[in-house]
Amino acid sequence: MQRAGAEEAAGAQAAAGGPGRSGAEVAAAPAGRLLRRELRLLESIFHRSHERFRIGSACPDEISCEFVPGVGARAGASASRGPPPGPVRIHCNITESYPAVPPIWSVESDDPNLAAILERLVEVRKGNTLLLQHLKRIISDLCKLYNLPQHPDVEMLDQPLPAEQSTQEEVSSEEEDEEMPEDSEDLDHYEMKEEEPADGKKTEDEGIGKENLAILEKIKKNQRQDYLNGAVSGSVQATDRLMKELRDIYRSPSFKGGYYAVELVNDSLYDWNVKLLKVDEDSALHNDLQILKEKEGTDFILLNFSFKDNFPFDPPFVRVVSPVLSGGYVLGGGAICMELLTKQGWSSAYSIESVIMQISATLVKGKARVQFGANKNQYSLTRAQQSYKSLVQIHEKNGWYTPPKEDG
């Protein structure tokens, strides 16, 4: 932003803590400390259980949040029909030049109305390009879009920021700013980046075992290292969603009950091996798996989930790796014939656990059987992709067959 003047200084003054501070004083305050105070205010207002808007995770360079329309909400022409809209997931990236450079926003949706809301943030000028003012505009516009009354908590974004909570060590550091201003500022930014609210972390990790918490921490460390090495893979939206999916799985009763297991291939968040450990005990497939255990020492079905950068808007590619199956809607190469695994049938609202459990049920419903003695090399990624491509082309032309209720 290149605009400057009395109005812009006044706007920055109000956002920095109310009257009594000059524009020069605001400019002199470390931007990182100002941002940290904004984040603390945001999390105090829009906590994880807020009825309308929730801050999921927040650090000085990235924020994930969601707008919850709730029952009775309708958007545009769909106001009189269809189910209520689901949560709107929003992401924000903040550069080191903040607040001179405004936050960068993205939304997990192809809805042009949502994209337009973010595009209109360029209208927030005259010093109001701070995080709080952007969010105030976003929440207000989303309420209008979904024909909802303005939530009263939005006005709380205009209140003075909470005071900086400095420890004695931080105070001593500030006294040395005149001698080492650049190093001190860089150190402050680094420490902020690693900081995570204690209450939020406790809630986020609650119900997850130590072994799985270690896996999540390893993923985070790998991501930070990739970032430092300039080798970041995937996208922000996909990474955030996959981390959430993995956390939800680790605290899931089905996962803890041994119905399935998840392993990351080469520690990649975008490549999962899923073991179906339990299927319907009254099914022939269950009996086959018991025989397989006696013969080969394994009694599970191994699936592979591959995710792309545009997840969760596109489904994962799922295939059976082993054992070789007949029936159960399993195609050549190990591809699976299920509408929800195609763009046509997929919804970004689906959880990965629900997909796993649905696949397990579909294998039983389709009377899948283990092909003992079959050539294991007939299942491969290339063949599965070819079968999937043919499957999509056929069903795009002819539609999907829904069996009668008596068929299950």
Catalytic site positions: 337
Q: Is the dihedral of CA 303, 308, 311, 314 positive or negative?
A: negative
Q: Please tell me the distance from the alpha carbon of residue 317 to that of residue 305, in angstroms, as a whole number.
A: 6
Q: Per the structure block, which two tokens stand in for 350?
A: 């689906």
- The tally of CA atoms less than 13 A away on the side-chain side of residue 260 is 29
Q: Which DSSP symbol is given to 275?
A: E
Q: Which amino acid is at 21?
A: R
- The tally of CA atoms less than 13 A away on the side-chain side of residue 197 is 21
Q: Per the structure block, which two tokens stand in for 225?
A: 């290292």
The backbone torsions φ and ψ at residue 92, rounded to the nearest 5 degrees and listed phi first, read -135, 130
Q: Please tell me the distance from the alpha carbon of residue 238 to that of residue 304, in angstroms, as a whole number.
A: 17
Residue given tokens 């004695």 in the structure block: 168
Q: What does the DSSP assignment read for 223-272?
A: HHHHHHTT---S-HHHHHHHHHHHHHHHT-HHHHTTSEEEEEGGG-TTEE
Q: Per the structure block, which two tokens stand in for 169?
A: 């060590």
Q: Please tell me the distance from the alpha carbon of residue 59 to that of residue 94, in angstroms, as a whole number.
A: 9
Q: Per the structure block, which two tokens stand in for 159?
A: 């209140």
Q: Are 117 and 141 in contact, with CB atoms under 8 Å apart?
A: yes
Q: Are 149 and 70 in contact, with CB atoms under 8 Å apart?
A: no
Burial 196-231 (b: 16+ CB within 10 A, else e): ebeebeeebbeebeeebeebbeebeeebeeeeeeee
Q: Please tell me the distance from the alpha carbon of residue 171 to that of residue 301, in angstroms, as a whole number.
A: 58
Q: Which amino acid is at 49?
A: S
